[in-house]
Structure 1
Amino acid sequence: MKIVQNPTDVISLLSTGDINDRTRFRFPSSTLSIEFKNMLGLNGEVKTVFSNLSDGSIVTLFDKTPFPEKKEDVVCPHFVELKWANGCNFDCAWCYLNGTMRFRPHGKEPYCKEKNKILDHINKYLQQNTVPSLLNSGELSDSLVFEGNDSALSKLIIPLFKQQNKHKLLILTKSTNIQGILSSNSQDCTIVSFSINSFDVAKRWEKKAPSPKQRIQAAKKLYDAGYTIRMRLDPIIPVENWISGYKEVIDYLFEYLIPERITLGSLRGLQSTINFSKDRSWVNYLNESSNWGKKINFETRYKMYKTMISYLKRRYKFVDIGLCKETMAMWEKLGMTYQDIKCNCIL
C-alpha cells in the first residue's frame, strides 16, 4: 500500500497500466485506505475508477455486472454504493431485499450501521477521492427509511456532503417524508430520485408505500425548492390496459415537474427474490431467463419501452431516458446508445 500526498498521482500512474491493475493508498494523516483500479468502460476504453474504501462495508463500487460482450449481456454502468443502512419498511412484492436479506434474523427490517464508522468512512472518501462522483444511498435500503429519528440520512449524512463541492449524494426513495431534506438546504450536493409506477400496479403490489401521486407531490415540493429530481419508472408490467395506465402516471408527473432524467425498467426477479416473496402473483409475467434472473419476454419488453419512450418524446419532448438492467440487444433494437448511458445511479 502506498502512502501518498496526492491521489491524483496514483490515478495518473494507473492510467498507464494494464486493465487489471489496482493500487491501494492512503494519506499520511488517514487511518483508512482507498483503492483505485483499472476497468473496461462501456465505451470499450480502459479507465481508472474508485474501487473501495477500507473493507468496502460502507463505500464501495457496485461492479457486479461485467463488461457486456454478448447481445444478451446486461448493460449497467458501475456506480458508487453508499451502504450505510439495510432494509425497508415498505412491502413491494418484488423487492429484491427479500432475497438479499434472507439470512438476516429479521429479514429486511431496517437497521443502520454503526454511526461513527459511517461518518469516518464517508469523510475519508470525500477527502481522498478527487474524482467527482455520485454516491447511491438507496441500493440496499430506502434512503429515507430513518427520517424522523437520529439515524436519519438528512441529519447523519447530508451535512458531510455540504462541507465539500466535489461529490454528490443520490437519495433513492418511495417515501414522502422529505422535510429533513428540505430543511437541510442541500440543493447543491443532493439528487433525489423517486421510484414510481402506474396507479393500479402500485396499488396491487407496492404495499405500505405512498401512492405514486403522493410520491410525485413530494417530488414537486423538492423540485420547487431547487432540488434536482430524477424518476425511475420501474418495474413496468404489461398488466391489462398498461399503455393507458403508464401514460396516465407520466401525464401526472409532467403536470407538476420536469425531471432531470427518467430511467425505465421492466419487471425482473432473481431466483432468491422469487423464492422469498410472499406474494408471487407478479412472477406470472416472467417467462424469459437471463443472466440477471427471470424477465418478461424480449418482444413485450421492447413494446413497453418503445411505447413509453415514444410518448415521452412526442408529448413532452423529453429525451433524457435510460434503461435499467437491460441487454445490449434491447438498447440496439431501440436505437439507443448504451455507451453514452445516462441513468439513475451516475452523474
Structure 2
Amino acid sequence: MSTKIPGDKLAQFRNAAIYSSLDRKDQSSLEELASNRRLSVQQLRQVLEIARDLQMWGIGPISSWIEELPPADPREGKRQAVKTVDTLVSRWEEERRRGPEYTGNAPVYGASPRSIMESTAPATILGSCPVASEKTRCCNLQTLDAVINCGFGCTYCTIQSFYDQGRIYLHSDLGRRLRELHLDPEGIYHIGTGQSSDSLMWGNRENLLADLFDFARRNPNVILELKTKSDNISWLLENSPPPNVLVTWSLNSEQMIRWEERGTAPLEKRLDAAARTALAGYLVGFHFHPMVPHDNWRESYAAVFSRLLSDFDPSRVAMTSFGTLTFIKPVIRAIRERGQATQVLRMPLTETAGKYSYPEDTKVDLFRFGYESLAAWHEKVFFYLCMEPAGLWEPVFGFSYPDNTSFEEAMKLSYRSKILSPRF
C-alpha cells in the first residue's frame, strides 16, 4: 500500500469512524487513491462518505469504483484530484437519483438497546415543536416531553441528534408536573407527546398514560395527541377515553416499515390497532411521514390508502398528514456513523434553509398521490402537510393558508368539531 499521503492527513483519514468500518480492500484502495492523486483532506472526507453510502445501500464496494477510474497521471497535479472526485461524485449522485430499492429480505434489526432511567430534573416538559421552522408552514403544535428519547430504531430518526442514545428517561413525577402546568382556560391547545418519544410503546409504565388521561380530563380545552408506531393499545382499550385525546399512527409502505422502521409494529398490526382503538371510542389519525419514492412506491402506498378507506369510518378520523424525509447535517452524520444497512440517504438531497430533502417536484408527486388516493375523505377529514414549504400546499391540495396562525386555527376548529360530536 502506498504511504505518500502526508502524515497529518493520513492520521485524520485513518482515525475517521467510517474508515475503520470498511474492509481492508476498501481501505487500501482509498489510501492508494488519496496518495497517487493527491486528494485534500476535504476530498478524502467526501470520498469516504461515498464509500459509506455504498456500503449502507448494498451496492459497493468503493474499491470496484476506484478500479474503473482512468490511470493516474502525475503530470495533472491538483487537477487530477478534482477530476477523480468529480467522477466518483457524479456516479454517486446517479445512484442517489435512482432512489431506494427494497428488494430481497430486509435486514433483521430490533430496537436499539437503551437503559431506562427515571428523571426528576426540573426541566420544563411543555414546549414548541423541536423541528418547527419559519421556512415551513407550521401548525404551531406544542410538545409534551412525557418520555425523553425513543426506544425504536428508525433509520431516519431526528431524535438521534437531540438526545443521549444510550438512555431513555421516564418521569417519576409526571402527574405532579402536569398538574403544575398553567394553561389559559380561555385558550385552545393542541399538544402532542410523540415528538421526543413514541407515545404508546411504554404503555402505562410509571403511570404514564393514566397521568396523561387525567391531564386531558382536567383540561377540556386541550387537544392531546398521542402519536405512535406501536400496537401497544391494551391499556387504552381497558380505559374510557377522554373525548379530547386523539391517538394517531405513523404509517408507511410495507417496504419502508420492514427496512427502515426497525423495532416498530408491522403495518398490519398498526392498522389493526388503529381500527380497534377507533371502535373503542377514540378519535384516530394517520401520519404518512416520511413518504419515500422507492421502487413500486405507488402500488405500495396505494395499498395502504385503500385499507384506510375500507377499514375506517372518516367520522372517527381526525386528520391525515403527509411529509417526507428532511435531514439536518448532524442526523446525516449520525446515520453514516451507525452504518446500518439503509437506503434513506439514497436520495437527491436539496438544501433549503439549512435542511436537506427531496426536490419540490418529487414532494408534490408524493403528496398529491396520497391526497388524491383518499379523495373520499376530502370533505370529512383534516388534511395537511407537516414541516413542508407553504408553496407546496396549492399544487397538492388546491388551496393554502396565508400564515401559520390561520393553519393552526383551522386545524383546531376541525379537531374540536369532532371531539364535540357524538362518537356512536
For residue 220 of structure 2, the aligned residue among 134, 152, 165 is 165
- Post-superposition shift, 1:158? 1.4
| Structure 2 counterpart of 1:189 | 244
* Secondary structure of 1:191 counterpart: strand
| Structure 2 counterpart of 1:178 | 233
| Structure 1 counterpart of 2:399 | 336
| Structure 2 counterpart of 1:263 | 321
TM-score by length of structure 2 reads 0.61
For residue 153 of structure 1, the aligned residue among 201, 205, 208 is 208
* Secondary structure of 2:346 counterpart: helix
Q: Deviations over 1:274-327 (max 9, x none)?
A: 111233531111421112521011111111111111221168876631101111
* Secondary structure of 1:78 counterpart: coil
| Structure 2 counterpart of 1:76 | 138
User: In 2, Cα distance between the equivalents of 1:286 and 1:307?
Assistant: 20
- Post-superposition shift, 1:224? 0.4
Structure with the higher helix share, 1 or 2: 2
| Structure 1 counterpart of 2:360 | 298
* Secondary structure of 1:74 counterpart: coil
User: In 2, Cα distance between the equivalents of 1:342 and 1:130?
Assistant: 16
1:49-198 to structure 2, matched below 5 A, reads 57-62=124-129, 65-67=132-134, 73-101=135-163, 104=164, 107=165, 109-113=167-171, 115-116=172-173, 118-125=174-181, 128-147=184-203, 149=205, 151-198=206-253
Q: 1:108 to 1:273 in 2, by over 3 A?
A: farther
Aligned partners of 1:174 and 1:195 also within 8 Å = yes
Q: 1:187 to 1:158 in 2, by over 3 A?
A: closer
- Post-superposition shift, 1:126? 5.8
* Secondary structure of 2:330 counterpart: helix
Unaligned runs of 5+ in 2: 1-121, 416-424
* Structure whose alpha-carbon radius of gyration is higher: 2
- Post-superposition shift, 1:197? 0.1
Identical-pair percentage: 19
- Comparing 169-178 with 319-328, greater Cα deviation is found at 319-328
Q: 1:162 to 1:318 in 2, by over 3 A?
A: closer
Aligned partners of 1:196 and 1:233 also within 8 Å = yes
1:19-38 to structure 2, matched below 5 A, reads none
User: In 1, Cα distance between the equivalents of 2:347 and 2:358?
Assistant: 6
Q: 1:190 to 1:296 in 2, by over 3 A?
A: same
- Comparing 194-203 with 255-264, greater Cα deviation is found at 255-264
- Comparing 189-198 with 312-321, greater Cα deviation is found at 312-321
User: In 2, Cα distance between the equivalents of 1:163 and 1:183?
Assistant: 20
User: In 1, Cα distance between the equivalents of 2:166 and 2:282?
Assistant: 29
Q: Deviations over 1:315-342 (max 9, x none)?
A: 8876631101111221233333134436
What is the Cα-based RMSD across aligned positions, in Å? 2.6
Q: Which amino acid aligns with 1:209?
A: T
User: In 2, Cα distance between the equivalents of 1:205 and 1:138?
Assistant: 18
Aligned partners of 2:382 and 2:411 also within 8 Å = no
Q: 1:292 to 1:266 in 2, by over 3 A?
A: farther
Structure with the higher strand share, 1 or 2: 1
